[in-house]
């Protein structure tokens, strides 16, 4: 592989902290597979230094960068423009730098929908039920709305807080929000063709946690999607599988959003199989390190 030179185009990811990011492994694999002269690095950026860091990346000629916690919303003020997905979600995870101008994008929508599409799952004209109302949920909700879902019902722990957080989306999407213990949400489970967990319940290390779902209410044909990818099979997905549901975890969403970002920067369609292999290898290495 050709080494880094003065011709190499630079990419990266910023966050605080950033050591947990799996993006460098995925993007490096895609860059190698494509044979293009790019380099992708992780860059720790303290929240107080965000403005200076973004200005520095622009000055250094970076082609673009990913954005992770805690900068996804704050970075909007540093950009020249944002796309419709980022505007609706209220968060940016990908920045493209072209002719000195910074444009913000949110590729989580594409990643989420790509996972469904590859499983042959369509949501147009169908109803979906969703656990959670955080940042990830906004990407899921907007993605489902773009794909023509008939109705999206959100179940949450704190109904008042969630209604306020999703009020802007509710004005443009057929969306309803209830406590996940509410009879109305339980009724929605009966009619949902798609059930999504967008909460962190079940994520490593709290493996026994699960959203409060009564599987007896869920249609046997319902597709069950958990956007968590560590572990690969949450308790939520294990219980769904045991009842015969088709299931999907968050790996495809993570790979899909990364692939869309690289496509925005380079104009190529990345090798997603190579990205997924690199991601799974990185996750396996992380598990080994955690056990050591």
Residues 126 and 213 in one domain: yes
The whole-number pLDDT of residue 1 equals 46
Residues 216 and 148 in one domain: yes
Q: What is the CATH number of the domain that holds 82?
A: 3.40.50.10860
Residues 187 and 90 in one domain: no
Q: What is the CATH number of the domain that holds 174?
A: 3.40.50.720
Q: Name which residue leads in pLDDT, 20 or 291.
A: 20
Confidence grade of residue 33 (pLDDT, cut at 50, 70, 90): very high
- Domain membership of residue 112 (yes or no) is no
- Domain membership of residue 93 (yes or no) is yes
pLDDT in tens, 69-95: 999 999 999 999 999 999 999 999 999
Task: Among 210, 227, 245, give the residue marking a domain's end.
Answer: 245
Residues 270 and 241 in one domain: no
Residues 166 and 185 in one domain: yes
Give residue for tokens 């900068």. 71
pLDDT in tens, 169-209: 998 899 999 999 999 999 999 999 999 999 999 999 999 99
Q: Tokens in use for 212?
A: 């409060």
- Domain membership of residue 114 (yes or no) is no
The whole-number pLDDT of residue 6 equals 74
- Please list the residues that pair with 152 across neighbouring strands: 128, 175
pLDDT in tens, 220-235: 999 999 999 999 999 9
The whole-number pLDDT of residue 286 equals 77
The whole-number pLDDT of residue 3 equals 67
pLDDT in tens, 244-278: 999 999 999 999 999 999 999 999 999 999 999 99
- Domain membership of residue 55 (yes or no) is yes
Confidence grade of residue 290 (pLDDT, cut at 50, 70, 90): low
- Tell which phi-psi region holds residue 63, choosing left (phi > 0), alpha (psi between -120 and 50) or beta: alpha
Residues 128 and 181 in one domain: yes
- Domain membership of residue 34 (yes or no) is yes
- Domain membership of residue 3 (yes or no) is no
**8 A C-beta contact, residue 237 and residue 5:** no
- Domain membership of residue 138 (yes or no) is yes
Return the active site residues.
72
Using CA atoms, how far apart are residues 28 and 278, in angstroms rounded to an integer?
A: 9
Kindly tell me if the per-residue pLDDT of 8 is higher than 70: yes
Assign 3-class secondary structure to 278-290.
HHHHHHHHHHHHH
Residues 205 and 132 in one domain: yes
- Domain membership of residue 90 (yes or no) is yes
- Tell which phi-psi region holds residue 150, choosing left (phi > 0), alpha (psi between -120 and 50) or beta: alpha
Q: Range of 168's domain?
A: 122-245
Kindly tell me if the per-residue pLDDT of 151 is higher than 80: yes
Residues 45 and 151 in one domain: no
Using CA atoms, how far apart are residues 216 and 209, in angstroms rounded to an integer?
A: 19
Domain count, the chain: 2
Kindly tell me if the per-residue pLDDT of 23 is higher than 80: yes
Residues 239 and 268 in one domain: no
Residues 127 and 237 in one domain: yes
**8 A C-beta contact, residue 245 and residue 218:** yes
Residues 218 and 264 in one domain: no
Residues 148 and 166 in one domain: yes
């Amino acid at each position: 592989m050709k080494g880094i030179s003065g011709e190499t185009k630079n990419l990266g990811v910023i966050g605080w902290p950033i050591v947990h990011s799996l993006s460098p492994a995925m993007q490096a694999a895609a860059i190698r597979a494509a044979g293009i002269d790019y380099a992708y690095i992780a860059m720790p950026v303290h929240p107080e230094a965000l403005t200076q860091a973004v200005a520095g990346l622009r000055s250094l000629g970076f082609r673009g960068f990913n954005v992770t916690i805690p900068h996804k919303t704050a970075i909007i003020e540093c950009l020249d423009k944002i796309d419709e997905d980022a505007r609706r979600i209220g968060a940016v995870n990908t920045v493209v730098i072209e002719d000195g101008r910074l444009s913000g994008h949110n590729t989580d929508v594409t990643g989420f929908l790509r996972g469904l599409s590859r499983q042959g799952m369509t949501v147009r004209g169908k109803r979906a039920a969703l656990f959670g109302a955080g940042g990830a949920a906004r990407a899921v909700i907007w993605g489902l709305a773009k794909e023509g879902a008939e109705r999206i019902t959100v179940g949450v722990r704190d109904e008042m807080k969630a209604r306020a957080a999703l009020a802007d989306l509710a004005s443009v999407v057929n969306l309803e929000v209830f406590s996940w213990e509410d009879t109305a949400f339980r009724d929605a489970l009966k009619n949902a063709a798609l059930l999504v967990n967008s909460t962190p319940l079940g994520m490593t290390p709290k493996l026994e946690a699960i959203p409060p779902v009564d599987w007896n209410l869920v249609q046997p044909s319902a597709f069950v999607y958990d956007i968590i990818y560590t572990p690969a099979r949450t308790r939520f997905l294990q219980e769904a599988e045991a009842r015969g549901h088709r299931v999907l975890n968050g790996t495809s969403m993570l790979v899909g959003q990364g692939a869309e970002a690289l496509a925005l920067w380079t104009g190529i369609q990345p090798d997603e199989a190579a990205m997924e292999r690199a991601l799974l290898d990185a996750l396996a290495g992380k598990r080994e390190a955690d056990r050591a």
